[in-house]
């Protein structure tokens, strides 16, 4: 079986979903890091309430990262699908063996 052409939109949607999941994991890691950072005492007796904004930014990362990763994953997937279709014309596509 040889894949001679891929649907650009199909590849873009799958890439967006995969990238959004990775963005969610990255957002969770940022959130956990910001929680640890906000638990630290403020340096030189500064206002401890000022450190609370760090956990707020971490919570925002859980929302923003998957969206941004998904958008860039969609764009990247569309470019990859388009380039694959051009390259497959020259080399014949990708050969896949199945049982």
Instruction: Give Cα 68 distance to the centre of its chain.
Output: 7
**99 in any annotated domain:** no
Q: Is the pLDDT of residue 36 over 70?
A: yes
**98 in any annotated domain:** no
**pLDDT value for 39:** 67
C-alpha to C-alpha distances, 15 to 33, 69, 85, 95, nearest whole angstrom: 27, 10, 16, 21
Count of structural domains, the chain: 1
- CB contact set of 39 (below 8 Å; sequence gap of 6+): none
Helices assigned H by DSSP within the chain: 8-38, 53-91
**pLDDT value for 10:** 94
Of the candidates 72, 74, 64, the residue with the CA atom closest to the CA atom of residue 26: 64
What confidence tens digit (pLDDT) does each residue in 40-77 have?
A: 666 666 565 656 667 777 888 899 999 999 999 999 99
**pLDDT value for 97:** 86
What confidence tens digit (pLDDT) does each residue in 4-33 have?
A: 899 999 999 999 999 999 999 999 999 888
Quote the domain boundaries for residue 29. Answer: 2-40+49-93
**pLDDT value for 49:** 60
What is the Cα–Cα distance from 57 to 34, expressed in whole angstroms?
A: 7
Q: pTM for the full model?
A: 0.79
**88 in any annotated domain:** yes
């Amino acid at each position: 079986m040889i894949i001679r052409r891929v649907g650009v939109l199909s590849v873009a949607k799958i890439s967006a979903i995969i990238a959004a999941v990775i963005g969610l994991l990255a957002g969770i890691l940022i959130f956990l890091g910001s929680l640890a950072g906000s638990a630290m005492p403020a340096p030189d007796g500064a206002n401890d309430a000022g450190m609370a904004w760090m956990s707020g930014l971490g919570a925002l990362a859980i929302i923003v990262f998957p969206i941004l990763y998904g958008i860039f994953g969609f764009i990247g997937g569309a470019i990859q699908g388009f380039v694959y279709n051009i390259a497959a014309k020259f080399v014949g596509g990708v050969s896949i063996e199945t049982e």
